[in-house]
Structure 1
Amino acid sequence: MSLVLAAIAQRARLGDGAIALSDQTSAFSYGALETAIAAAARDLFLWAPLVRPGSPIAVRLPNGAAWVILDLALARLGWTSLPLPGFFTDAQRQHAMADAGASLLVELSDAANGDLSIAGSPLRVTPLSLPDRRLPAGTAKITYTSGSTGQPKGVCLSRQHMEAVASSLVQAIGANYAGLHLPLLPLSILLENVAGLYTTLLAGGRYHILPPDQLGLADPFRPDLPRLAGAIAEQRANSLILVPELLRALMMVMTFTGIRLPDLTLVAVGGAKVAPSLLAQADELGLPVYEGYGLSECASVVALNTPSARKAGTVGRPLPHLGVAIREGEIVVENSGFLGYAGGQAHDGPVFTGDLGEIDEDGFLRISGRRLNTIITSHGRNIAPEWVESELTAQPEIRQAVVLGEAQAELSALIVPLIPGMDEAAIAGAVARANANLPPYARIGRWLARDAFDPAAGELTNNGRPRRAVLGARHRDFMEASTTGDLA
């Protein structure tokens, strides 16, 4: 049986009325949540004749109580779930459903009465006439990663290993940190689904969901920062999961407005390398930020700094259920639970992450970059661009940065300033401060300011990460000629 469902049932038997799940209109105690999951499972089972054995159910819903209850109802039935991120294009959604061979699509209904009603939300259920696809045995969830190139790939994971990650997080952090968790990332992202939702419920906390507009995240690429900070403060959130860019944005508004968030006890940050200087600034603002590391193939989290075990410059110790080793500089993960990709061969054995790192004498994991991203300058220096980029984006004037320089004598940077059209002297000052934290061979020699990277031109992945190959090809002339300070 699912560990999360068992934990909900055990807490429900206490009968103490503790709230497990809430949003802007409703609240579910652990007992009420257990009842709602059972009811949703019964209603879903009416569609069983249209569900091909092993075929996933595609879920396209925004963050809300309905998403949570549907996800756990699918777990109760033992059916495979295929969450579809809201930021996917229509073509990517269609690709994911076809690639995984989905039987049904569940989404919000335009009508007042849908085919299914969960937590007051009318849902439409659409049968899909798609060919069967081979999925590894034991697949409980398929998560599609946008990646940096090509079509999204469907990572197949078992429930046992997703919940092993959540259980390890509770063990490493401590259940006493379970308070009110406020999700800022989409639940369709594995990190929020496993490390946010499942971990909170296993630890007996409250998972409280607000719609994006109330969080100031209606446009995640241009967040309303005062609204975001105000929502965190008003809800008295105890824990958050952030990507580094959102952390920087939150810190900026705290610096300029003087707002403080004393109720926060745990802010987990991952998704990209975080500069030590940014973490030091977070400490000064009273933000309890703990950097971690993971990947979808390992069910979201591999290592995390915690309140009881934290070391600056590292991503923490590996979770207790995993075996992590370094082979020829590459991070390799044993017992990851990765079953394979949708439509591909079943995976057996360790996951070779493609990330470069080392484990220190105290067991903390340090990330230096991606093997495929490593820049080799004309001086023969090997440089992880993520390292340099983290120092650049630690400066408040810089929102995004991409470092280039393969076979060049010096490194170049494409820089998106915090404010479009920012004065070039301010950007130059930020680059100079970043360079002061770097050795001479890793300093930025030339930079080019861009008001933004263009997702329509393929310069960004769907979750907002720059595509290095696309940007490098577009700006090849810049790399080969001195255009310092020009504005593109």
Structure 2
Amino acid sequence: MRSWLNSIPQQQTILSSWTESWDKAALLKKISQVSEALLKRKNPKAPVGVLADNSLEWIAIDLATQDIGVTLIPLPSFFTPNQWLHAIKSSGMQAIFCPQEDVARNLGFIFQNDYAGELKLYESMSVLSSIVDQPNLLEVQKITYTSGTTSEPKGVCLSTDQQWSVAQSLEQALHSLQIKKHLNVLPLSVLLENIAGVYTALACGAENTCVPLSEVGLHGSSQFDADACMAAIEKYQAESIILLPQMLQAIVTRSTKQDPRLKSLKFVAVGGGKTPVALIKTAKSMGIPVYEGYGLSECASVVALNTPHNERIGSVGKVLGNRIVRISKDGEIEVKNMDLPHYLENTAGLTSNLTSTPSSAECEWLPTGDLGHLDDDGFLYLDGRKKNVLITSFGRNISPEWPESLLLGSGLFRQAMVIGDGQAQLGALLVTAKEGLSDEVIQAGVTSANQELPDYAQIKHWLLADEPFSPNNGLATANGRLKRDLIKKKFNDQIELLYANT
């Protein structure tokens, strides 16, 4: 983990915030303080959680757990209390870093450790028991919980080597850009920012700037102030950031061509969901250096990425140097893993997600659940989610992400979910980007998207959702992925009426 430190000059700023800057010595001092506090616990090797806003201390806690071999569980602030409790129970978490005593106590952590930091360290009552119910975490440094499509998040277990391997591959891919400043815009509890942001910045010898999420415009899990984000980019002269597609859309909407607030940027990575080609082209035409990538938690985030020297708009880029990808017979993207990922099934321990695979040779390949293809030059394309495929009454198989991407590319819609499984024609649930759009304007946007689709994939019917799909109402994951089954259940009556009237 510390190999990146060797090439960094002693006085160079490694981490910075709105109030302080840390060089190598300051970072190592903080790592030592955190490590000492963790090792003084009743059960010093038990897993520890962190539930807090972005901060330099958050990063130091992460690096300290790597140093002393303790498993860290980042808890996203946008999880519900029941989801937090599920993560705590399933991981065997015995302590938590948290700024709010009442939150820690409500989660079962009532004894405050003497650690002196901005975040407080609380231990649970169970550490006083002679028997601690804790899973065998082996070489697991981090358990990242994915919000997924069910109420109980799934824990993906990763080693230190798995995480830093991705960061080193990203450093190699981006080396020619000579990025000197990265700004954390996503929560550190999101693995993408954790690895592709912090670790990659450290591996590049860049300065990683970490400020409260409100300063970069992120409030909760679904409210984003693009103007605040652009002000932060200008203030800290960020050269690289990571965005979700809906955040990029907001910035494009609120910015101007060659916007002076964005002139410091060299590289804007966008991932976490399929990004409409039209949005990427619009962003580039405005001078925003945006590049789409692809990854998943089971592969420690990034698998493929477009870069200035290797780019094909519409693809998610070329596969990173530490990965090999193939396409299965049924079109599913599979990733070769030297170190197989594991899911944390329950407090009894770990379970490989590949245990049911029939042969050891096949066990090397991780099925991603994503449909895609590789072109002759090695660029990877996403065609949709395998489980989302719609089959019309005429027997046509359609990935809904295809027409959805075109609808979102119009700029009129914030969200779109295509429906029509078992129906003769497709429909769509729409969330408009602006309030008050007339039916005529909405229909014009749908018609424009249909012009790029064959007849069987065109949207023939649509209805407006009465609220956005978000983690707050349980209709989307933290990275914006739609929880399709729950959305269909919520809008079932309207959908039935939509098709009954056609």
Root mean square deviation of aligned Cα: 2.4
Deviations for 1:103-160, whole angstroms, at most 9, x for unmatched residues? 211211559x973234xx1413223528524345211110000101241011001111
1:208-219 alignment runs, 5 A limit: 208-219=209-220
Instruction: Name the residue aligned to 1:20.
Output: 14
User: In 2, distance between residues paired with 1:457 and 1:247?
Assistant: 22
1:239 CA drift (Å): 0.5
Instruction: Name the residue aligned to 1:73.
Output: 64
When structure 1 is superposed on structure 2, of 96-105 and 430-439 the one drifting more is 430-439
Instruction: Name the residue aligned to 1:189.
Output: 190
> Among 437, 445, 457, which residue is 1:430 paired with?
445
Q: Which runs of 5+ in 1 are unaligned?
A: none
User: In 1, distance between residues paired with 2:77 and 2:373?
Assistant: 35
1:170-181 alignment runs, 5 A limit: 170-174=171-175, 176-181=177-182
User: In 2, distance between residues paired with 1:336 and 1:353?
Assistant: 15
Instruction: Name the residue aligned to 1:472.
Output: 488
* Structure 2 contact 113–123 (Cα < 8 Å) conserved: no
1:472 CA drift (Å): 1.7
Helix, strand or coil at the partner of 2:302: coil
1:35 CA drift (Å): 2.7
User: In 2, distance between residues paired with 1:410 and 1:256?
Assistant: 39
Q: Percent identity?
A: 39
Q: Which runs of 5+ in 2 are unaligned?
A: 103-111, 355-362
User: In 1, distance between residues paired with 2:125 and 2:273?
Assistant: 36
* Structure 2 contact 144–155 (Cα < 8 Å) conserved: yes
Instruction: Name the residue aligned to 1:404.
Output: 419
Helix, strand or coil at the partner of 1:355: strand
> Among 102, 121, 125, which residue is 1:124 paired with?
121
* Structure 1 contact 60–85 (Cα < 8 Å) conserved: yes
Cα pair distance change 1:70/1:482, threshold 3 Å: closer
User: In 2, distance between residues paired with 1:484 and 1:319?
Assistant: 48
Is the aligned partner of 1:92 residue 2:83? Answer: yes
Deviations for 1:344-366, whole angstroms, at most 9, x for unmatched residues? 42456321111111111111111
Helix, strand or coil at the partner of 2:415: strand
Helix, strand or coil at the partner of 2:218: coil
Q: Which amino acid aligns with 2:311?
A: R
Is the aligned partner of 1:461 residue 2:461? Answer: no
Q: Count matched residues.
A: 473
Cα pair distance change 1:337/1:267, threshold 3 Å: farther
User: In 2, distance between residues paired with 1:456 and 1:261?
Assistant: 30
Q: Which amino acid aligns with 2:371?
A: L
User: In 2, distance between residues paired with 1:168 and 1:159?
Assistant: 14
Helix, strand or coil at the partner of 2:262: coil
Cα pair distance change 1:28/1:11, threshold 3 Å: farther
User: In 2, distance between residues paired with 1:346 and 1:64?
Assistant: 33
> Among 48, 67, 71, which residue is 1:57 paired with?
48
User: In 2, distance between residues paired with 1:351 and 1:77?
Assistant: 30
Instruction: Name the residue aligned to 2:107.
Output: none
Deviations for 1:67-101, whole angstroms, at most 9, x for unmatched residues? 00111111111111111011111111111010011
Instruction: Name the residue aligned to 1:326.
Output: 327
Is the aligned partner of 1:236 residue 2:234? Answer: no
Instruction: Name the residue aligned to 1:139.
Output: 140
Is the aligned partner of 1:37 residue 2:31? Answer: yes
* Structure 2 contact 394–424 (Cα < 8 Å) conserved: yes
User: In 2, distance between residues paired with 1:385 and 1:100?
Assistant: 35
Is the aligned partner of 1:377 residue 2:392? Answer: yes
User: In 2, distance between residues paired with 1:91 and 1:45?
Assistant: 29
* Structure 2 contact 71–137 (Cα < 8 Å) conserved: no
User: In 2, distance between residues paired with 1:27 and 1:161?
Assistant: 28
Q: Which amino acid aligns with 1:452?
A: E
Deviations for 1:284-316, whole angstroms, at most 9, x for unmatched residues? 011111111111100011111111111111111
User: In 2, distance between residues paired with 1:107 and 1:435?
Assistant: 49
Is the aligned partner of 1:345 residue 2:360? Answer: no
Helix, strand or coil at the partner of 1:117: coil
Cα pair distance change 1:156/1:20, threshold 3 Å: same
Q: Which amino acid aligns with 2:269?
A: A
Cα pair distance change 1:257/1:172, threshold 3 Å: closer
Q: Which amino acid aligns with 2:393?
A: S
1:130-279 alignment runs, 5 A limit: 132-174=133-175, 176-255=177-256, 261-279=262-280
1:456 CA drift (Å): 5.9
Is the aligned partner of 1:355 residue 2:370? Answer: yes
User: In 1, distance between residues paired with 2:435 and 2:467?
Assistant: 8
* Structure 1 contact 155–338 (Cα < 8 Å) conserved: no
- Give the TM-score, by structure 2 length: 0.88
> Among 31, 40, 49, which residue is 1:46 paired with?
40
- Give the TM-score, by structure 1 length: 0.91
Helix, strand or coil at the partner of 2:301: coil
Q: Which amino acid aligns with 1:60?
A: L
Q: Which amino acid aligns with 1:27?
A: S
> Among 337, 340, 343, which residue is 1:335 paired with?
337
When structure 1 is superposed on structure 2, of 283-292 and 475-484 the one drifting more is 475-484
1:481 CA drift (Å): 4.4
1:379-398 alignment runs, 5 A limit: 379-398=394-413
* Structure 2 contact 75–84 (Cα < 8 Å) conserved: yes
User: In 2, distance between residues paired with 1:56 and 1:356?
Assistant: 35
Helix, strand or coil at the partner of 1:213: helix
1:463 CA drift (Å): 4.8
Deviations for 1:391-443, whole angstroms, at most 9, x for unmatched residues? 11122221111111101111111111112343322222222222223222222
* Structure 1 contact 106–126 (Cα < 8 Å) conserved: no
Cα pair distance change 1:346/1:219, threshold 3 Å: closer
When structure 1 is superposed on structure 2, of 190-199 and 386-395 the one drifting more is 386-395
User: In 1, distance between residues paired with 2:260 and 2:48?
Assistant: 43
Cα pair distance change 1:462/1:165, threshold 3 Å: closer
Q: Which amino acid aligns with 1:50?
A: N
* Structure 2 contact 246–414 (Cα < 8 Å) conserved: yes
Deviations for 1:335-384, whole angstroms, at most 9, x for unmatched residues? 26343111342456321111111111111111101110001112222111
Instruction: Name the residue aligned to 2:105.
Output: none
